[in-house]
Chain A
Amino acid sequence: MKITDPHPTFLPVDNIDTDRIIPARFLTTTRRDGLGCHLFEDWPEGKAALSDASILIAGNNFGCGSSREHAVWALVDRGFRAIVSTGFADIFHANAIRNGLAPVVIAGEDHARLVSLLDDGPDHETVLDFTSRRLICGPLDITFSARAVPTGQAIPGDAELDLLLARIDDIERWEAHHPPRIDTRKDRR
């Protein structure tokens, strides 16, 4: 599994939070698609950097802040399949994997070399090889860690949900020994 991008989107800014990825006023949607047009809506620098790229090269702690999965939906809807960073916020990381968007983690010194290469001239073809876990960009050949490969699907057949549903019997057995801690339907008067 490989992604090749002639012009990755280059935004090496730390702490790109989910409010910046998709501002709250666009969260009124009750759907998962169609959010790509609002990606980086209030962030001129981010908006200006957008093209038809499938790889986003970002700074540390990408996706911090609100748990909104809308941030991942917007990135996927806009065509992104992988985000490269030195680290991701926990909830964003989990949301990304679940939606076929690969969070690619590289070491700090590799990130610095990548940033200075792209700073000098942004037009470098970038290849992410998920089989060998290597990022190749110009003269750079960097190993990365990623817990998922990009399926490129906005709404994948949810493997986690399938797994949980397949174990309902185990869950029921567990519940038999652990009565519910609360009943929200209880009449409170």
Chain B
Amino acid sequence: MPASPRTLFDSIWDDHLVIPGSSHDDSSDVLYIDLHLVHEVTSPQAFSILRERGLCLRRPGQTIATMDHSTPTVPPDADGRHAFSDTETAAQVAQLEANCTEFGVPLYPLGHEDRGIVHVMAPELGLVQPGMTIVCGDSHTSTHGAFGALAFGIGSSQVAHVFASQCLLVRRPRTFEIRIEGTLAPGVTAKDVILAVIARIGTEGGVGHVFHYTGSTVRAMSMEERMTLCNMSIEGGARAGLITPDDTTFSYLAGRDFAPRGHAFDEAVSGWRRLASREGAAWDRSVTIDATAVEPMVTFGTNPATGIAVGDPVPDPGGLPTEEERAALRRALEYMALESGRPLAGHRVDVVFIGSCTNSRLSDLRAAARILDGRKVHDRVRMLVVPGSHRVKRAAEDEGLDLVFRNAGAEWREPGCSMCLAMNGDRARPGELVISTSNRNFEGRQGPEARTVLASPMTAAACAITGTITDVRELLQ
């Protein structure tokens, strides 16, 4: 048992503890899951397990499905046919539809007016609420921690466990406070902050932990910024990210489809306030980040911990302590075709991708549009803007953001994961350098031999205009 004072994490865990690990041979706890999010890529094998064992899906009303990973981002043709990249992606999407019908899971299919990337859609609908436990066969489930919910990614076998029992066998992680203090400078966003955090602690720094983001910077952030922060917790090795819910959280939830209404909402808010107030501060680890020192960030390597300020020189492999690390950095720079000692600023850009569950919400599109307004995408740059959901898309169109992007020469697409993982046909060509607002720059993530530089939507827009890696502050007037 943890020592008192408890963290918010402890409160949520204990509130969902059905059977403590000590009561059976495994030392894992049986944890109750309030909400299970499902998409087409990691669920088919789990539905098969139910079928093989003759089981039903225990709580369809606590389960919701969308299609996002392998769906096309070009609009359907005049007959309503969707342009899948191949027969396999089409079959996978059809399989999800059949599985949801067979097992009674509510599904937001292609063509549904509220469909979106799972981690964009669920919060938008008000499904994600403080104090809940939420899982999905997807590592970026950490996004939902922005609401003070304990949310983490699971493998497909565990998807079957939740289908069949609405519970999971899990070991209690430790807590890791990420304290972020100070006001962000113009041109610096939540994305730059999380890239700076991960650069500081490394890709495996958070293994076995849940990040809890605290501090004045976090309190001042909107829900969309908080989601960007929590989204990339997994890139720092953590299972989940968590932010204590406050008035920003409650006012975001007010009036959302699945949020309580009227008197029930007020009651819910008092419960959420009590939950937040139970919080002590007994962290297993803690680190403090000075937000005032964060600059617009870009990654130079092939893992998300390689973020540096856009004007800083790429590090020299010779400066690293072990031969393995030196070799890894040399290999990464060779893959990225970058030299150490020089900044990334000025390097030629081929593709700009604005989208993904990290940065495809309305405020992200507004930030990019503000930079692009009245300007043109550079001749040789191909720019894709992919809103995170149909709601985001409609809201952006209502404000005329689509026109800003189109007039600048960017492609305005249908919602989905798109070039974040390049499994729907949207991908970069070998050797192309992509400025991407997504969360992973692994080798081949955006297409075989494609080179990915992670950045904020503002930085991505600035790079699209100049055709080179650019410090967005130069374009801020």
The size bracket of the interface on A is: 35 or more
- How far does the alpha carbon of A142 sit from the alpha carbon of B207 in the complex, in Å? 24
Q: Which B residues lie within 8 Å of A171 (CB)?
A: 18, 30, 32, 165-167
- How far does the alpha carbon of A23 sit from the alpha carbon of B208 in the complex, in Å? 25
Q: Which B residues lie within 8 Å of A90 (CB)?
A: 173, 207-208, 237, 239
Are A180 and B19 in contact, with the CB atoms below 8 A?
no
Q: Which B residues lie within 8 Å of A15 (CB)?
A: 203-204, 303, 328
Are A158 and B157 in contact, with the CB atoms below 8 A?
yes
Given A28-B70, A91-B154, A182-B258: A164 and B169 interface contact (C-beta under 8 Å)? yes
When C-beta atoms are compared, the residue in chain A nearest to B327 turns out to be: A13
- How far does the alpha carbon of A66 sit from the alpha carbon of B92 in the complex, in Å? 19
* B137, CB-defined interface residue at 8 Å: yes
Given A30-B95, A59-B324: A67 and B106 interface contact (C-beta under 8 Å)? no
Given A27-B41, A181-B129: A163 and B32 interface contact (C-beta under 8 Å)? no
Q: Which A residues lie within 8 Å of B131 (CB)?
A: 181
Q: Which A residues lie within 8 Å of B160 (CB)?
A: 158, 161
Q: Which of B64, B69, B303 is most buried by chain A, counting CB atoms within 10 A of its CB?
A: B303
* B407, CB-defined interface residue at 8 Å: no
- How far does the alpha carbon of A84 sit from the alpha carbon of B97 in the complex, in Å? 39
Q: Which B residues lie within 8 Å of A69 (CB)?
A: 42, 45, 137, 155-157
- How far does the alpha carbon of A66 sit from the alpha carbon of B300 in the complex, in Å? 20
Q: Which B residues lie within 8 Å of A67 (CB)?
A: 42, 137-139, 153-155
* B217, CB-defined interface residue at 8 Å: no
Q: Which one, A23, A91, A188, contacts B155 given CB within 8 A?
A: A91
When C-beta atoms are compared, the residue in chain B nearest to A16 turns out to be: B442
* B24, CB-defined interface residue at 8 Å: yes
- How far does the alpha carbon of A35 sit from the alpha carbon of B325 in the complex, in Å? 30
What's the minimum C-beta distance from B51 to chain A, rounded to whole angstroms? 12
Q: Which A residues lie within 8 Å of B44 (CB)?
A: 29-31
What's the minimum C-beta distance from B166 to chain A, rounded to whole angstroms? 7
* A20, CB-defined interface residue at 8 Å: yes
Q: Which of B18, B34, B55, B64 is most buried by chain A, counting CB atoms within 10 A of its CB?
A: B18
Are A185 and B60 in contact, with the CB atoms below 8 A?
yes
Binding site of A, secondary structure by majority: helix, strand, loop or mixed?
loop
Are A66 and B139 in contact, with the CB atoms below 8 A?
yes
Are A164 and B257 in contact, with the CB atoms below 8 A?
no
What's the minimum C-beta distance from B16 to chain A, rounded to whole angstroms? 8
- How far does the alpha carbon of A161 sit from the alpha carbon of B50 in the complex, in Å? 11
| Residues in B387-438 with C-beta less than 8 Å from chain A | 421-423
Of the stretches B289-297, B343-351, B443-451, B469-477, the one at the interface is B443-451
Given A87-B204, A90-B239, A184-B62: A161 and B164 interface contact (C-beta under 8 Å)? yes
Given A67-B42, A67-B139, A69-B45: A28 and B237 interface contact (C-beta under 8 Å)? no
* B48, CB-defined interface residue at 8 Å: yes
Q: Which 5 pairs from chain A and chain B are nearest by CB?
A: A30-B44, A28-B88, A69-B155, A95-B155, A61-B204
Q: A: which residues have CB within 8 A of B?
A: 12-15, 17, 19-20, 23-25, 27-32, 42-43, 59-61, 64-70, 72, 87-91, 94-95, 98-99, 115, 158, 160-161, 163-165, 167-168, 170-171, 174-175, 178, 180-186, 188
Query: Knowing that A95-B155, A182-B62 are A-B contacts, what are 6 other residue pairs whose CB atoms are under 8 Å apart, sorted by A's residue number?
Result: A28-B89, A161-B49, A171-B165, A182-B129, A184-B64, A186-B258
